[in-house]
Amino acid sequence: MIEVEGFLGGTLDEVVPTLPGSVVQLVVGGTIRPEGTPWGEFFRFARVVSVTRLERDPARSCPRCETESPCFSLRLTWESGFQSDDGEVACENCVDGIVTKGSELIAFGSDSWGDDEVKLSTSYEL
Q: What is the pLDDT of residue 33?
A: 74
Q: What is the pLDDT of residue 9?
A: 64
Q: What is the pLDDT of residue 82?
A: 87
* 16 pLDDT more than 90: yes
* 117 pLDDT more than 60: no
What's the whole-number average pLDDT of the chain? 83
Integer Cα distance of 110 and 36 in angstroms: 29
Reported as a pLDDT band with limits 50, 70 and 90, residue 86 is confident
Q: Between 53 and 5, where is the model more confident?
A: 53
Q: Between 101 and 120, where is the model more confident?
A: 101
Q: Are 91 and 62 in contact (CB under 8 A)?
A: yes
Q: Between 91 and 123, where is the model more confident?
A: 91
Integer Cα distance of 95 and 7 in angstroms: 9
Q: What is the pLDDT of residue 8?
A: 64
Residue 35 CA, distance from chain mean position: 26
Give one DSSP letter per residue of the chain, joined into a string. -EEEE-S-SS-HHHHGGG-TT-EEEEE------TT---GGGTEEEEEEEEEEE----TT-B-TTT--BS-SEEEEEEEBTT---TT-SEEEGGGEEEEEEE-GGG--BTT----S----EEEE---
pTM (2 decimals)?
0.81
Q: What is the pLDDT of residue 50?
A: 97
Q: List the domain boundaries for the chain.
A: 2-115
Integer Cα distance of 52 and 14 in angstroms: 13
